[in-house]
Amino acid sequence: MSNLAYLPGHEPEPASADAPRGPQLENGYVRISHEVMRALGRARLRGSEYPVVLFVIDETWGWHVKHKILRTNYIAKELGIPVTKASEAVAELIRRGVLYRVGDSQGPIGFNKHHDQWKAKSSASKTVKRPDPKSGMIHENGERIVHENGEQTTHQNRESNKDRKDRKDITPLSDQSDGEVQHDLEKLFDRFWQAGMRKDGKIPAKEKFFRLVSGHADPEGFTEGLINDIKIRLEAGVPGFSKLHPKTYLNQKRWLDDLPERCPHAAIIQAWNEELPAHIEKLSAEDWTPESNAFQTLAASWETFKTKPRAATGKPVFTEEAEGVAFYREVFRRLAKVARIQTEDAARWCRLSWVAQKDVTVQIFKGEIA
């Protein structure tokens, strides 16, 4: 009972049963300690990093799990931000140890509550092109070195080299000359150029590469990451990737894209060679290069079967690599029993490049190819 008295005619309106109640705890909530919340406040997260952290906490702790598979395109959609922003935020948060990933680059993501393990944010500031003498040199940690009295000794924050030697939170200045730095960048670019991408537009690609690497805290590690990413995408047969210009790859930051499912081409080709009759074309895994349409067709079909739920069951055809190889082997066995395959004429049209098409694979498995 309320003890408040109201003047006649000024009584409050009775609450409607249909009035919206707003967010309620019974609809779900996240338990998080004050210590962690204050640590997040002190972490100086930038741009999309803070909403991404809160989203990961909600998707994991909010459902009483430590980590969960969260694709960057899903995070971007739910937060209403570009995919590239979500990818950059996740990568930086993992680098700093605020988030962690279990397993490979597509593994589950979790929030690291041990805030004493978090790393400081990068001290890199906006950089300018290295060759411009008016703007100064770009230090390896991304800060600009300003010319003063003809000597490159004063930084944007007016610190001298001597002052910086006593600081522990930055990378020490390199003793290399401009010529030595340029030589190191050339060597890094040569490694990137030989990673397997299309050999086209070398000069613009080199200029873009230099701009990216010069301002990076770990140029060699960054380059190695690009090389590994390129090899993974080529081996996976990402459609159109083998024809992508290196400069486009760098401009669009394609290394931040979600990695595709790896297709075990060699194992599937081996199953084909073993299950089909002797007169049917035998293949070598070395013949199926990422540049070929057949390679990419099989890769696309594999990813669909492994990740897309079927309408009948709500589950993918398979979820593990071994299951997938066994599925294709069964498809080849069923194809081998088709009467037309037994004729010598079948060698003209019965090829793995045809069977690798998703719709054809399904038809064979269902027995609709006769």
Beta sheet of 67-68, edge-to-edge order: 67-68, 109-111, 99-101
Percent residues over pLDDT 70 in the chain = 73
Quote the tokens at residue 43. Answer: 């972490």
- In this prediction the pTM is 0.42
Distance CA 60, CA 39 (A): 19
pLDDT of residue 275: 94
For residues 18 and 27, what is the distance between their CA atoms, to the nearest angstrom?
A: 17
Angstrom distance (rounded) from CA 236 to CA 352: 17
Question: Using CB atoms within 10 A of its CB, is residue 331 exposed (0-12), middle (13-18) or buried (19+)?
Answer: buried
Q: pLDDT digits over 76-101, tens only?
A: 888 998 888 888 888 889 888 899 88
Q: What pLDDT digit, counting tens, does each position of 306-336 carry?
A: 888 888 888 899 988 899 999 999 999 999 9
